[in-house]
Structure 1
């Protein structure tokens, strides 16, 4: 008998330090609990995700819908082309 065989024999004769009869049931219970926690965490993060998406869409809309910056001169009010005159602004919207 080799040293390994003697060690295995001695190990098989020693009593177990913990009860392993419910080991499989305990493992499956922990797996089921982790699945429930994962589903609950998804539901819990839904409002945060929706808020983030709404803010992202708001910023994207603001970036896309801003008009290009126009270069106006100080003396533009006296020129024939007055883009900021009330009549010009009203004509664009009507």
Structure 2
């Protein structure tokens, strides 16, 4: 048996120093006593977060799309690849 097992066994057999039977009830009483944070106060923060995410997504998408304007010559799976067999064969036909 490891020292940790011995300590846990001793701890399991030790009596508690206070009654824990009403602990959950007391925790919920304290939570219910706190004032609820109204959603009206959070509304501007929510709108700001959604607006920031929308602007950030639009800007990121715009910059990402500029990279897809022209396919690279090495893009094997591109629909308009200059090195695709269909493109190379069409020029010689």
For Structure 1 versus Structure 2, the TM-score category normalised by the shorter chain is 0.3 to 0.5
Q: TM-score, normalised by structure 1?
A: 0.44
**Which structure would you say has the larger Rg?**
1
Structure with more helix by fraction: 1
